[in-house]
Amino acid sequence: MAGRPLEFDRVEALSRAVDAFWCHGYEGLPTTVLAKEMGVSKSSLYNTFGTKRELLIEAVAAYTNAKAEAIRQIAASQDLLTQMRTFLLDIVHNNDDGMGCLLVNTAAELGLHDIGVRQLLQSGFQSVSDAFELLVIAGQRSGEFKRDLDSTKAALMIVTTIAGLRVLAKAGVPTHQLATAIEHPLAFIAA
């Protein structure tokens, strides 16, 4: 016996869940509000995605995949140093419309208290770091980045820089200070 067909677009509902968790966090987001922001009934949320925690895990994974893919796209482009500067300056000036990073936000909110979420976050940060490693290697091949860099360590430095920028931007550190702070990591990787 087949189940009833979904009356909503699952991918779109998941995308809306990503936005809801990103905007409100986990604890501050009642399930009724989450379902409303997703455009589904509360019963459809549970029947399709499971618990709120299970939905958070799927949403964080979807967010991570999208961010890693965006970084891989940059790695496949030209003028990587300029692309990196633009990427970092966008965080300084915009920080995803002030929401920061869902990985960083979730780590700050739940990382100490939920081992399963912590493992997901570690995997997510590793996925983003792996994407940046591809970017570093591409920059080394093009001659824009130092050839003697350890690409794994350089990628982790970039991820650490980004996480710090996002937290400081949310804390209201002036953009001119953050814009200055990105120059050292860029100088470190530039050929």
Residues 6+ apart with CB under 8 A from 108: 167
For 166-186, the DSSP string reads HHHHHTT--HHHHHHHTHHHH
- Where does the chain have alpha helices with state H? 10-24, 31-38, 42-49, 52-75, 80-93, 102-110, 115-142, 151-170, 175-181, 183-189
**Is 14 within the bounds of a domain?**
no
**Is 36 within the bounds of a domain?**
no
Torsion sign across C-alpha atoms 161, 163, 164, 166: positive
Report the mean per-residue pLDDT for the chain: 94
**Is 39 within the bounds of a domain?**
no
DSSP 30: -
**Is 93 within the bounds of a domain?**
yes
**Is 147 within the bounds of a domain?**
yes
- pTM for this entry: 0.92
Q: Taking residues 136-152, what's their average pLDDT?
A: 97
**Predicted pLDDT at 85:** 96
Torsion sign across C-alpha atoms 32, 43, 9, 106: positive
Q: Taking residues 85-110, what's their average pLDDT?
A: 95
Tokens linked to 134? 């591809």
**Is 44 within the bounds of a domain?**
no
For residue 148, the domain's CATH number is: 1.10.357
The domain in which residue 113 lies consists of: 61-189
The tally of domains found in the chain comes to 1
Report residue 1's pLDDT band, with 50, 70 and 90 as the boundaries.
very low
Report residue 5's pLDDT band, with 50, 70 and 90 as the boundaries.
low
Q: pLDDT tens across 16-52, in order?
A: 999 999 999 999 999 999 999 999 999 999 999 999 9
Q: pLDDT tens across 57-80, in order?
A: 999 999 999 999 999 999 999 999
**Is 66 within the bounds of a domain?**
yes
The maximal CA–CA distance of the chain, rounded, in angstroms, is: 62
Report residue 7's pLDDT band, with 50, 70 and 90 as the boundaries.
confident
Say yes or no to pLDDT of 93 above 90. Answer: yes
Beta bridge partners, 145, equal 190
Q: Taking residues 118-141, what's their average pLDDT?
A: 97
DSSP 15: H
**Predicted pLDDT at 8:** 84
**Predicted pLDDT at 6:** 60
Residues 6+ apart with CB under 8 A from 97: none
Say yes or no to pLDDT of 2 above 60. Answer: no
Q: Which of 6-15, 74-83, 138-147, 148-157 has the lowest mean pLDDT?
A: 6-15
Residues 6+ apart with CB under 8 A from 120: 57, 60, 61
**Is 158 within the bounds of a domain?**
yes
Say yes or no to pLDDT of 13 above 90. Answer: yes
